[in-house]
Amino acid sequence: MANETYPHQDPAQVSEVISSLKRFTSGGRGPWHAVSDSDWKDWRWQLKNRINNLDQLESVVPDLSDEEIQGAELANTKLSLGITPYFSNLIHREDPICPIRRQVVPRVEETISSTWDMSDPCGEDEHSPVPGLVHRYPDRVLFLVTDRCAAYCRYCTRSRLVSNASGYGFQPDYQEQLDYIRKHPEVRDVLFSGGDPLLLSDSKLEGLLKALRDIPHVEFIRIGSRIPIFLPQRITSDLCEMLKQFHPLFMSVHANHPRELTTEVKEALGRLADAGIPLGNQSVLLRGVNDSVPVMKALIHKLLMCRVRPYYLYQCDLISGSAHLRTSVRKGLEIMRGLRGHTTGYAVPQYVIDAPGGGGKVPINPEYILSHNNERVVIRNFEGRVFEYPEVADEPEDASSMKVCSSVHGEA
């Protein structure tokens, strides 16, 4: 469905819309119908033939608006234009407000900065002890491996860095990054990100994973990637066989709209899941893309069918030039109220704001606690009904610690 407005007053019609969005269909070939199967299924061919300028964009998305034409002409001065042939087929050509189109087709509004906009909204640069590594939380680090992606999201938090269109000059030094982790035994969790780590060759990625696994205090490795969505052809059997050597290894993927979850994506995610890799999804709340309960409900249900657990729903970061894509926090809370209790808890993501300037992820929830004192907690459930739960006094910290100690030594 192209223009996704919903008759909220008619549950039967809303249910029909959700069911339609949850159907799995192929991305198809679109203008590339003459391309051989072997080329089309080759992820390197997909990267080589990306749409990266206005002429190419106009050939696959006719009738671009003036705002999109100006955006495409200016895109490579801020954040490069890049769309894989596969993903471009998901754009409704005749729909100017297509939710897929809004995510990857540049607009001139990207050149407009609002009062609150920042170039580094998450404060990563000031928490970077060595180039390409961010140590913002006590026991984990962000390991940036590249500044390139298969396609470029127009709301990218790292648009200052990704694609190098703005001349950031990202030059990671893997050995320096690894040495920092070796010298900091408090680091037990490493997240590979970028850019997109799965753009590395199998052998290069394997080398980095081996180096991390040789560090005794690194317990947990994660890969953050949009490639299973933008470029499912990259998720080969060889890649999955290589990755399964390095468990516990988790992967966070990034889908914002149910139409991104095609049959090709479902198969790619299935290969990762079959390799024993737990999958979570991180969505960004975007105006005109997923800012309604029906769309979000279809997305999270479809993710579970792909064996992916919804993990985070991010309020869009205050990245410069993204104001036209940002929703209100009120809208995010409205969506969360429409999910919690109305569908399985496994499907409900945690809504967070990455606190501007480097404060980290802060959970944002509807007001379920109405009051709390020494005697009781008054709570409201998803139906609006009010309940009381008795409060009890906490034991002194030393007493509870002694109990734990005694139990450990077999004296309890």
Centre a 10 Å sphere on the Cβ of residue 45 and count the other Cβ atoms it contains.
17
Which residues, in sequence order, are bridge partners of residue 282?
312
DSSP 91: S
Decide if 150 contacts 84 (C-beta within 8 A): yes
CA-closest candidate to residue 339, choices 285, 389, 392, 386: 285
Which residues, in sequence order, are bridge partners of residue 283?
313
Residue 45, CB-side half-sphere exposure with 13 Å CA sphere:
11
Length of the chain: 412
Token pair belonging to 74? 């200016």
- In the block, residue with structure tokens 């926090």: 329
Catalytic residue numbers, as ranges: 136-137, 140, 149, 153, 156, 158, 317, 354, 361
- Give rounded-to-5 percent helix, strand, coil for the chain: 40, 15, 45
Grouping H, G, I as helix, E, B as strand and the rest as coil, residue 389 is strand
Burial code (b: 16+ CB inside 10 Å, e: under 16) for 47-84 equals bebbbbebebbeebbeebeebbbbbbeebbebbbbbbb
DSSP 95: -
- In the block, residue with structure tokens 């704001």: 353
Token pair belonging to 129? 């002890």
- In the block, residue with structure tokens 């198969």: 267
Decide if 202 contacts 239 (C-beta within 8 A): yes
CA-closest candidate to residue 222, choices 203, 208, 202: 208
Dihedral angle, C-alpha 190, 257, 13, 306, nearest 10 °: -50
Decide if 287 contacts 325 (C-beta within 8 A): yes
As a whole number of angstroms, the longest Cα–Cα distance in the chain is 77
Token pair belonging to 143? 């390991």
Q: To which H or E segment does residue 210 belong?
A: helix 202-213
Decide if 283 contacts 256 (C-beta within 8 A): yes
